Structure 1
Amino acid sequence: MKVPPLLLFIFFFLSTATGSNTTLDPKQLRALQSLDIPTSKDPCTHTNTSTSSLLCDSSSPFRHLLSLSLSNCSSDLSLSFTALKSLASLQSLHFLSCPLLPPPRFPSDLSLSLLSFSAVRSFRHLSGVFLSRFVNLTDLTVSYVPVNTSGLFVILGNMHKLTSLTISHASLSGFIPKHLHLNLTHIDLSDNKLRGRIPTSLTVLDDLQFLNLSHNALSGEIPSQFGDLISLTNLSLASNSFSGSVPDSISAIPGLVHVDLSGNQFNGTVPKFFTEVRSLKHLNLENNEFHGVLPFNASFIRRLAVFKVGGNGNLCYNHSVLSSKLKLGIAPCDKHGFPLSPPPAKESGDDSESDASDYDDSEDDSSSRKEEHHHGPNKVVLGVAIGLSSIVFLIVFLVLLSKWCG
């Protein structure tokens, strides 16, 4: 579209008067000013301040905004409909720590142009209908913002291009949708109020790399087809009410790095297949109902950056394979594979002695010999005392008998 000469003259005059060499579209320049973003210098080249950052294209005669981030917003900031309408060229719009802002009314042009939208600790609340208008998004992030909606499907129903989804700490309720878009590579729905089971349809997301469903009210078993998530690297199902055993199909996921199943009711034995996942660095199985003998050796545990199995009362470790110095939070096994009762706490509280204890066979034998050596003299003394007492009793009895007979 050809720009009228008068508009070019006015813009040139304004730029000269303010000492600015900006070539940003005049309407967008005014929009930035209404958002308290400094424009005395070219905002397209001076992109970062303490409260904003932006990115422009290289079009002519005027450049246009492609990305805008607002942070630590002032309480009197106003996101007017007029200003937002002038920013219809935006592809990315991000808000960080702008909690006092009311939900803005977005013009349809801007809603359709956005590919990335995030709100972190911003706005008093957001609605599912509001978010659902961003139908062309590839990246949606909402965190520490209450989201009012009747279900996650209201938000995601028409977002067919979405690849990264984060709605966390948002008091989100309802169920995980039975059908999710196949483009998704990142799903973070942690710290919400989601309930129900993991739908088996989730396991068809071949490109999914990150899945965090922790801190919800989800229940049921992990779908047996979970191993079909062959691209998965990070998995967290912590702090839910999942039950049943861990499916063997997970062993088919070659690139797992992070697995957190803590704080559930998983039962059965701990799967040995985790030792075959060479990329694994974080394994948290604590506070479940696993039982039996821990199937890991010391070299596997030392290979991990994080390993937790405490809080499984019926789980134990083979003391001939693992040392108590590892402090696993579970008891050693007896010869039948059941947990031994933990030793009573020492009143002296001598940590050095506690740390030195071990369930290694050689050390057990040494301890036994020390114990025998310590208690041996007591038995001898006891025997001598009993013998002497018997002799004294016999002498007294004979004296009394002789007097009685005389």
Structure 2
Amino acid sequence: MKAVVVIVMLLCSSSIVTSLRAPEPEPEPPSPAPTSSPSTLDPKQVIALESLDIPTARDPCGQPSFHNATLCDNAKPFRHLISLRLANCSSYLSLSFTALKALSTLRSLTLLNCPAAPTHLPPQLATSLTSFTCVNSLRKVSGVWLSQLQNLTHLTVSDVQVKASGPFVILAHMSKLTSLTISNANLTGSLPGHLHSNLTHIDFSLNHLKGSIPPSITMLLNLQTLNLSSNALSGQIPPSIGDLISLQNLSLASNSFSGSIPDSLSALPDLLHMDLSSNQLNGSIPKFISQIKSLSYLNLANNNLRGVLPFNLSFINRLQVFKVAGNSNLCYNRSVLSSKLKLRISPCDKFGMPVSPPAKDSSADDTTDDDYDETDDEGSRHKKDHHHGPNKFVLGVAIALSSIVFLIVFLILCSKCCR
């Protein structure tokens, strides 16, 4: 009996101890697998953007602001900027070396209306950039500063003062360039004797470049645009310019080029735009120009071109822009072209020479008057209106009679005084 009681007591104490133990924790449900989400921008680049007055409350890669645009790569754990455009910046904006160093992953940098002072360029950024655009920004830059960007394929500098002795200082080591624009930059010197063959676009307009066009420029077989307008270039247009078989736009306006228009231009099958105005070109206009089927813009105004205009009406009507005014020795055949075209050059006489403008008091027919500017017609009509006053004979008789009456009155007065 005692043994049974002991066994019962042991079982009860065991159950009491078990009931006093803390309950074992239930197993936690398995955590969900992490979902893939786009990584955030590199924190260093976030700080750099904030120093450039670019809001970063939202992801700059996904929500670019109105004035500024950014593009990023898809790197992890942090994304990095590969393209940045700053537009209409505050005059207090500073492009610090620290910020630019943090942005050394950029491949494209565009500055539009950002009057910040240029700063020392981090070597990493200079090596990374393949496209650089600076329009009315940075106040002033040097050719040496630009020459650091040796891996560029696109360079645009416009409305910026560039201090350099010539384009060669900037371009000497840019062997990858395909598009080049340095416009309205106060650039001096001469055109470089060697340009890299990858170029498809060259624009040196509105500068102070002197000298002639180097013959080597005609070796750029991929060149589509050549704009050298508004400089101080001189000499002849290279006869081999027709070797630029890809050329579509040619502008040599407002220089001092002389000589004749090269015949080789007829070999340019895709030429759309040709502006040779405001030079000192002489000789006759080649007839082959009318055979360039793609041509839509032709400006030969303000030169020393002479002879008979070799174009017919169908060719002129095909052009969107056609200008030949300002060539005093150039004339048109009235049997081929109507005077109503307002070409602003004289018609030809039977010897192929310009007819002198009609005298103001001559009884020229209306068709001749139409060969000239409408402002001239208005001026001549205004002058003719002045001849519609009193007849000269009647006016003379009136003056004579008045003199006689005055003389008689004077004699009568004198005779009374003598008495």
Quote the residue 1:40 is aligned against: 57
Q: Distance in 2 between matches of 1:251 and 1:354?
A: 34
Q: Distance in 2 between matches of 1:131 and 1:61?
A: 33
User: Percentage identity across aligned positions?
Assistant: 63
Q: CA deviation at 1:104?
A: 1.7
Residue 200 (structure 2) pairs with residue 185 (structure 1): yes
Which of the numbers 287, 305, 317 marks the counterpart of 1:290?
Answer: 305
Matches within 5 A, 1:133-144: 133-144=148-159
Q: Distance in 1 between matches of 2:227 and 2:297?
A: 14
Q: Distance in 2 between matches of 1:32 and 1:189?
A: 33
1:193 counterpart SS class = coil
Matches within 5 A, 1:262-301: 262-301=277-316
Q: Distance in 2 between matches of 1:48 and 1:282?
A: 39
CA contact (8 A) 2:39 2:76 kept: no
Q: Distance in 2 between matches of 1:331 and 1:169?
A: 36
1:182-219 residue CA offsets vs partner (Å, 9 max, x unmatched)? 00000000000000000000000000000000000000
Q: CA deviation at 1:105?
A: 1.3
Q: Which has the larger radius of gyration?
A: 2
CA RMSD of aligned residues (A): 1.9
2:94 counterpart SS class = coil
Residue 180 (structure 2) pairs with residue 165 (structure 1): yes
**Alpha carbons of 1:61 and 1:218: their partners in 2 closer, same or farther (altered >3 Å)?**
same
CA contact (8 A) 1:22 1:41 kept: no
1:280 counterpart SS class = coil
TM, length-normalised to structure 2: 0.77
Quote the residue 1:368 is aligned against: none
1:249-304 residue CA offsets vs partner (Å, 9 max, x unmatched)? 11001000000000000000001111110000000000000000000001100000
Moved over 6 A (4+): none
CA contact (8 A) 1:139 1:164 kept: yes
Which of the numbers 48, 62, 68 marks the counterpart of 1:31?
Answer: 48
CA contact (8 A) 1:22 1:42 kept: no
CA contact (8 A) 1:325 1:356 kept: no
Which of the numbers 76, 82, 86 marks the counterpart of 1:66?
Answer: 82
Q: Distance in 2 between matches of 1:120 and 1:171?
A: 14
**Alpha carbons of 1:345 and 1:229: their partners in 2 closer, same or farther (altered >3 Å)?**
farther
CA contact (8 A) 2:277 2:303 kept: yes
Q: CA deviation at 1:345?
A: 5.5
CA contact (8 A) 2:247 2:268 kept: yes
The count of corresponding residues between Structure 1 and Structure 2 is 334
Quote the residue 1:318 is aligned against: 333
CA contact (8 A) 2:344 2:371 kept: no
Quote the residue 1:151 is aligned against: 166
Q: Distance in 2 between matches of 1:192 and 1:323?
A: 40
Residue 102 (structure 2) pairs with residue 91 (structure 1): no
State the AA in 1 paired with 2:146: L
Q: CA deviation at 1:118?
A: 1.0
1:311 counterpart SS class = coil
Q: Distance in 2 between matches of 1:292 and 1:315?
A: 5
Q: Which runs of 5+ in 2 are unaligned?
A: 1-37, 373-419
Q: Distance in 2 between matches of 1:302 and 1:48?
A: 47
Quote the residue 2:144 is aligned against: 129
Q: Which runs of 5+ in 1 are unaligned?
A: 1-20, 348-352, 360-406
1:299 counterpart SS class = helix
State the AA in 1 paired with 2:54: I
Q: Distance in 2 between matches of 1:53 and 1:338?
A: 60
CA contact (8 A) 1:22 1:44 kept: no
Q: CA deviation at 1:22?
A: 6.7
Residue 87 (structure 2) pairs with residue 79 (structure 1): no
1:228-260 residue CA offsets vs partner (Å, 9 max, x unmatched)? 000000000000000000110110010000000
**Alpha carbons of 1:358 and 1:159: their partners in 2 closer, same or farther (altered >3 Å)?**
closer
State the AA in 2 paired with 1:39: T
**Alpha carbons of 1:357 and 1:197: their partners in 2 closer, same or farther (altered >3 Å)?**
closer
Quote the residue 1:260 is aligned against: 275
Q: Distance in 2 between matches of 1:266 and 1:358?
A: 24
Q: Distance in 1 between matches of 2:66 and 2:315?
A: 48
TM, length-normalised to structure 1: 0.80
2:253 counterpart SS class = coil
Q: CA deviation at 1:343?
A: 2.6
Q: Distance in 2 between matches of 1:95 and 1:295?
A: 47
1:63-115 residue CA offsets vs partner (Å, 9 max, x unmatched)? 1101000011111111111110010110000100012x111211000000000
**Alpha carbons of 1:239 and 1:357: their partners in 2 closer, same or farther (altered >3 Å)?**
closer
**Alpha carbons of 1:31 and 1:198: their partners in 2 closer, same or farther (altered >3 Å)?**
same
